[in-house]
Every structure is written in C-alpha cells, then in structure tokens.
Structure 1
C-alpha cells in the first residue's frame, strides 16, 4: 500500500515513490504524511521515484482547498509527480491565485490543471496564465465543435486571438504551432504534451512548417500518435542524417522501400544510432535467428529496436531456463517479437500457470506465444477458472489436454462467453460470476453480458 516512502515527520524526505494509479483511491481529509501513504496505492504499474527535500503535505492540502477532487489529485500526482516537490506557498499558490484572478471558475481551474498539471511547473504566474488560457480555449472549442458541428456563423476560436497577440520567441512559436496542429486535427492529448514539453518540434517557425508538410506528404494521419512521432524525427534530424540512417538499414539487408515501411510503422526507428541498429541486428543473430529471420522480425515489430542487448539476451535465457528448446525460442521470437519487452518474472509466472495449473505443455505455449502478452489477472486466470469449473462438473469432455489453448485464451470475451458460459443454462450466473470475478454472483447476467461484449 505504501506509495510514498517518507523519512521522518517533517522535511527529511529522501525519496517520494509515486505509483501510477489505475484507480483513484480516496484521500483522507487530513493530509498528513501518514494519510498520503494510505491514500496513494492500488496499482500494478511501476513507480516513478523522485528525490526531494520537501514535504508533500502542503501541496496536497493546497490542491484540496482549491476544490480538486480525490480522483483529480490522483491524476495530477500520477501524471506529474514532481509537483509534490514544489513549494506550495511560494510557487504554486501565486499561480493558482493568478488564474482565479483572470476569471477562472473553480470547475474550469480543476479540470484544466488536472488535464495538464505541468502548467503549474512553468516559471512565473504570467507564463502559467498564458498557457492556461490557450489550453482552456482548446478544451472549450473542442466541446463546442462536438455539439455544434461547424454551424454557419460559428464564431472563430479565441485561440486565434491569443496567437495574434503572442510575443516573438519560443513561447509564442509553441502556442502558434500547437494551434496549427489543432487545426490539422491533432487530438488534445498530443497537443498538451507538445505544449508543455521541452522538445523541439513546436519551437521553430519556418522549419516547423516544412516539417509538418513533409510528415503530411508522407501520409501520416494527424489524429494518431505516429504523426507526432514522425514530426519529432523530421524536425530534429537533417535530411542528410535521416538518409545516413536509411543507409545503415540498407547495409544490413533492407531495401530502401522496406526502411520507409518500417518508418511509417514506427517513426522512432530512424532515431537510433548506427551502433545501436547494428548491435540489435547482431544480437538477434546470436540468439539463433538467421539474417532473413532478423529482417522479418524487425519489419514486423521495429519497436524491438529499443530493447537493449542485455534485455534480449535475458529474455532468451529466461525461455531456455523454463525448458523451451532453442528452436522453440526462435519460433516464438519470430511470431511474437514484443516478448523482449516482458520481464523474466512475468514470463515465468504465466508459463508456470499455463503448464502447472492448466496442464498445457511448453509446446502449446510455444505455438501461441502472444498468450504471454495477455494479462494474467484480467484474462488468463478468469478464463481458466471457468474451464476448471466446467471440468469439475464434467461438462468438458476429454479434459484439459484435449482443450486447445487457442480456444480458451485467444478469442474475444464475447466469443469465449458464448462458447463456454452461455450454453450451460442454469449455470450461467455462476460461470459468469467466476469469469467477471464477482464472488457474490450479484450481477444480472444480461447486464454483465453487455459489459463483456463492449
């Protein structure tokens, strides 16, 4: 449960470990260090650790006094944990006061700050206010456009007025350029990230316009994250540098059109150094893949390029240690290259469950390696518990050995429920309760089915 490791009652904090939450937990009314520890937990995601000498209590208390809800505070801390290290009285309070003084209502203030908490990290109340106004108008205009669908006489965006009055410089360029991207259809979540980040793509003017044109001409969809990734690459790298990276891939056996196909699939593929690209290629060969197989893997999943040599080797050693043969490991990597992103602990837990608990063989797992990417708690265990219940009642003939893993784990929730739950009449409520984890079995079957189908 402890997500904040606090050393002492006062200002002797050494490390604040902020867990990124799946669900907001209730904050206590009294924001003591102890209450913070109790309220920030319940997650399976990795922690983000930051070093500080400050006390988070005043920051949390300040946010509460300004009307931020428990879930909004949870979102702010998980998105921008460094906020807890700022001085509540000297840094945050003046900014919040300045925002209120420019007419921000309590609901607007809490909505915008919880969506883009990093604006409170900007230097000076004036700078914070400028970003705030721009973000507010993006949010409000997007809401209006959803409701009014481009009605005739629809008044022009306030964003334009802000842009015209901006000073020359990086700050002005960023807001103008983000506004231009919004007009192209880039979603809010990407706009806000670009606006408050220190990355270059929205700093310039002429180069920004040139880069956007290139990315659009390449066929990237502005509504996707790949568009923003491609913009990063094209803006930050010269044409010569990009061509040099293309030549590195060509020297390893890729055709130029294949390099651009990889780029369109994962734009960051051109950001790696020649050494890193070559090293990944050679490491995969050391793991047992021949050159053609390496080319196939990287064309299929170019994001494998970001895996370190150590991680790739450890992944292979984990599979071998569990009893998979060398040929099976090669086949698994070819079929499911993203296995390099799985931790050894995760692979072991899932493999042992499937083999020891369900009596499937290593050969079964090797035949369908994507199952190792499924959630153990949300997908594998609930489905397997339904199968166990059916077996215990004698409703599945031939036992687990004659029940293909693919029929249990790879189908959609709707197909699984229709195949193993709905055909069993009076047992449907019980089986559905097992499937959804509803131990009391209180959910109505039809309602649960709607949720499953969704």
Structure 2
C-alpha cells in the first residue's frame, strides 16, 4: 500500500542570543493529510498571533498554542483592541494572555466591556485597572451579575463607599470570587460571636480581607487561637492577629516562634511582643535574625528591650535603621547631641519628626548628616 509522507517545516526568526527554532513533523498516510495540514497551519497562526499581537516570547507562545487554537483573528483582534483602548499596555496584555489565554475568545461587547466599565465606575483609573486585572486574571472569569456585583453589594454594607471597596480589592482580589453564603457571612458571624464590633470588621475588610475568604473551619480555628492568647476582641490588634496567623501554617508559626526564643526571649516575652505588634510574624526568619544581630551586637540593646518594641522588626535595616544611626553618630561625634539618646524611640519616630529634630536642625552645623541620612556613610556602632 502506498504510504504518503509530508514534511512540515516551521522556522522562527533568530535573535542574537538564540538559534533558529526548527520543527519537523512527518505525517503518514494513516492520518488525514489535509486535516493535519489545517491543524499545523492553525498552530502556526496561533503562535504567530500570540507573538506579534499579544507580545509573548516564542517559548510562551508555543506552550500556549498547545492549549488554544486561533483559526481566525477577528475576535482576538476585537479583544486586544478593547484592552488597548482601556489603558492596557503591551506588558499588561502579555501578562493577561499568558495566564488566561482563553480571554482571546471572550465576547468583547457582552462579557469584557461591561466588567471594565463596572470597575471604572468604582473609581479605578484606567492605568490602575489595567495593572489590577492583568495581575488578577480570576476576576475576568467571574460573572458580573451573579458573582461580582452581589459580593460587592454585601461588602459595601460594611465598608459603605466605592473608595473603600477599591482599597479592599487592591489588598486581596480573592474576595471577588469568594462565596458570600459559604465563606463571608459565616466568617463574619464568627467575629461577631467573639464580640468584634462591626467597625473593626469594616477595617479588616479594607486593610486585609483575605482571611475572610478562608474556609469556615480554618477561620474559626484561627479566631479561637487569637482569643485564647488574650487579645481584646474590641481592639484592632485582634483582627491584625487573625490576619497574621491566617496566612501561615502551624509549622511556620512554630518555626518563627522558636526563632524569637533563640534570641533569648521567654514565652511570655514572645506573647507580649506578638500582642503589641501582631504583624511581626510576617517578617521572614532571615530578616529577624539580621535585625536582632544588629540590635544586640551593634547597638548593644538587650533582647528584652527589643521585645518591648517589636515594631522594630517591621523596619528596613538598610533604608531606615542604619541611616538614622549614622545621623546620630555624626551628631554625637560633634557633641551636638548627648550619647544617652534613646535609640529605640528615635528609630520608631515618624519620618517628619526625625528629619526635623536630627537632620534639618543640624544640616548647617554638620552638613555630613545629609550624606548619613541618604545612606552614603557606613555605621559600625556608636562606640567605634
């Protein structure tokens, strides 16, 4: 029996750093030659379109071409045009299509345009919305009428304004796809059962709504642990503690707790520090170690003193702590301030207060404070 073979060659343009990509496929007579050629042509068109119109690199385009097939560019062109006219840059489009390639086949008039207009009506600027949607593809998968609007209407019973809603969405887009009946309502009911006022629930939705999207049993478990630690349900720290504990596993929690205890803290000092600043547990163990080493071995602070001010672990060593210490070092060396300055208080003071008291006040007498404050001077310790 006569066997027919067809060789198909696909060559992409070479770049300075990559060689040409060549695909060779042999088709036997056991396949339908015409159908296979159509398939190959569609795949070639898909790869070409993803590269030229969506800005994808060759490797990503070929990978996505395994999942979708563009037979005609009419609808994809309409989708790309709609995105571009609504402020999406080439980078936004490439990111969006890479993570959500079937978007190219969505109805631009009935499906996409109403969602874009709805989010713009909330107060998103076009540039902010493009950035938001391109990094949160799941939003475009949700039904506007059945999911997005009902969820937002529920949230607004607590946070009231579109401005607050936009703030909440920027903190966690997951809330868009959260089931109101299955997650939001029961989790909020759990907070209320512990006496958390609605005003604090509103703050939680605005500053960190992600914990409210947890499963009911997980949220109840975290809330019970926070309550057992002695947090006051009426305080803001109660919801901050829930936010902190809900994003890490019990194993990760114990690992960080042991890291703090390795500094010489007792269980009581750790609990006291966590109650003072619940977000301290979100700091990486690597950063915790570097900061404590600096506080104890360079600034000669006692670990117990640091435990009384856990907010220090939220500060940047390079951008804030060292430059401020360098400023103090300059001023001490010139006798402009005393050596008994309370370093913890200085590090914790806000930017305006520190600059007014230690930089602008002395910049004429000690011009070096500017370089010190800008991080251009090293710091080895006040006794160096």
Q: TM-score range by the shorter chain?
A: 0.5 to 0.7
Aligned equivalents of 1:130 and 1:293: distance in 2? 52
**1:420-452 deviation per Cα after TM superposition (whole angstroms, max 9, x unaligned):** 233435553322112213469xxxxxxxxxxxx
Q: Structure 2 length normalisation: TM-score?
A: 0.66
My pick for the range that moved more, 126-135 or 428-437, is: 126-135
Q: Call closer, same or farther: CA 1:374–1:130 in 2, change over 3 Å.
A: farther
Which residue is 1:132 aligned to? 80
Local SS of the residue matching 1:225? helix
**Is the Cα contact below 8 Å between 1:233 and 1:271 reproduced in 2?**
yes
Which residue is 2:371 aligned to? 433
Of residues 200, 211, 221, the one that matches 1:269 is 211
Local SS of the residue matching 2:367? helix
For residue 337 of structure 1, report the CA deviation from its aligned partner.
0.7
For residue 346 of structure 1, report the CA deviation from its aligned partner.
0.7
Q: Structure 1 length normalisation: TM-score?
A: 0.57
Which residue is 1:410 aligned to? 348
**Structure 1 unmatched runs, 5+:** 1-29, 33-54, 60-88, 100-108, 141-165, 441-454
For residue 413 of structure 1, report the CA deviation from its aligned partner.
3.4
**1:268-319 deviation per Cα after TM superposition (whole angstroms, max 9, x unaligned):** 2321123322333455578xx2364797633245421222222222222211
Of residues 273, 287, 297, the one that matches 1:346 is 287
Q: Call closer, same or farther: CA 1:257–1:411 in 2, change over 3 Å.
A: closer
Which residue is 1:360 aligned to? 301
Q: Call closer, same or farther: CA 1:216–1:362 in 2, change over 3 Å.
A: same
Higher relative contact order (CA 8 A, sep 6+): 2
For residue 185 of structure 1, report the CA deviation from its aligned partner.
1.5
Aligned equivalents of 1:136 and 1:369: distance in 2? 46
For residue 232 of structure 1, report the CA deviation from its aligned partner.
4.9
Which residue is 1:204 aligned to? 143
Which residue is 2:269 aligned to? 328
Which residue is 1:176 aligned to? 114
Aligned equivalents of 1:368 and 1:245: distance in 2? 31
**Is the Cα contact below 8 Å between 2:184 and 2:212 reproduced in 1?**
yes
Aligned equivalents of 1:251 and 1:405: distance in 2? 42
1:94 corresponds to 2:49 = yes
**Structure 2 unmatched runs, 5+:** 1-14, 22-43, 89-103, 379-384
**Is the Cα contact below 8 Å between 2:183 and 2:215 reproduced in 1?**
no
Which residue is 1:421 aligned to? 359
**Is the Cα contact below 8 Å between 1:332 and 1:369 reproduced in 2?**
yes
Aligned equivalents of 1:266 and 1:312: distance in 2? 19
For residue 192 of structure 1, report the CA deviation from its aligned partner.
4.4
How many correspondences in the alignment?
Answer: 315
